Amino acid sequence: MTQKLHSFFKVSSKEVKQLSFGLKAPSNFNYFELPDPNGSFVNNSAKLYKQMNDSFLLEVNFDARYNGPLTELKLTNQNIITWEDYWINAETNKIIDPKIERINLQKNSLVHANFNLTRNGLKYLNLEGNKNMRAVFITDAPNLEVLNISNCQALDVINLGNNKNIKALIANNCKLSPLLQERLLRDFHPVRTSSSNRQFSMFRKTYETVLDMRGTEIDWSNRRIASKIRMLLCNNWLVLWDNPPPVSIIPPQMYAFFTTNLEESLIKEYYG
């Protein structure tokens, strides 16, 4: 017996070519990865069906005996323009939380990404490279750890909602306006901190928490922006920027040891 889930999305035009999709396998560019302990769930499947001219139905089947989180959905380079993240149980016709841990929607044509319902299982969300995306709404994802919105240069609205578990917020090359910088950091309420090496803190080589604001001219004259970044630094966060703050706002002793000549390898795990 299987459980069947449905979701829907729109693409930019009827000429969009469907890339290979199925369960995670070398033959599939996009995929849905489902847990399969001991290879016993033989009825697992993931399929895309074209509906009308510019929309798709995503269907996922998995063994009804499994009640845990689903591993990953990857739908990249598919010219998706809207993502509402509605998932429907095909038998009851009710909207449910699919408990997906990782969602990768990078390099599509998204105009907005809405996660307006509770997503308790979501830990990783990659929206990188959606250059026309104007709005991101994440209402309640209490276990979200990594959010990547890099290269999303048209953003007007970012709503992070319940996000206290975030340990990596990657907003590289977003060119955020001062107003959007303030709103992003205002809604960012992390409780995670990195432990520091008490003897050799300035030579710390690993970082568990990171805010990447490179590619944006940070408005250090805005007290709300400056105070939030200072708070993160005080809690051992790695904060990356292009324009350093005035020494009167944040003294270089707080950051100089890790922002100069930082190797990409130190934070590569946060880029999907």
Whether the per-residue pLDDT at 52 is higher than 50: the answer is yes
Q: Give the pLDDT score at 86.
A: 94
Q: Give the pLDDT score at 250.
A: 85
Rounded mean pLDDT, 16-21? 92
45-51 and 55-63 strand pairing: antiparallel
Q: Give the pLDDT score at 259.
A: 44
Residue 49: how many other CB atoms lie within 10 Å: 11
Q: Which CATH number fits domain 110-270: 1.10.10, 1.10.3470, 3.80.10, 3.40.1800?
A: 3.80.10
Letter string b/e over residues 232-259, b meaning 16 or more CB atoms within 10 A of that residue's CB: bbeebbbbbbeeebeeeebeeeebeebb
Q: Give the pLDDT score at 75.
A: 97
Q: Give the pLDDT score at 198.
A: 43
Whether the per-residue pLDDT at 216 is higher than 90: the answer is yes
Q: How does residue 41 score in pLDDT terms, banded at 50, 70 and 90?
A: low
Rounded mean pLDDT, 150-177? 92
Q: How does residue 39 score in pLDDT terms, banded at 50, 70 and 90?
A: low
Whether the per-residue pLDDT at 10 is higher than 90: the answer is yes
How many whole angstroms separate alpha carbon 159 and alpha carbon 84? 14
Domains of the chain, residue spans: 110-270
Q: How does residue 196 score in pLDDT terms, banded at 50, 70 and 90?
A: low
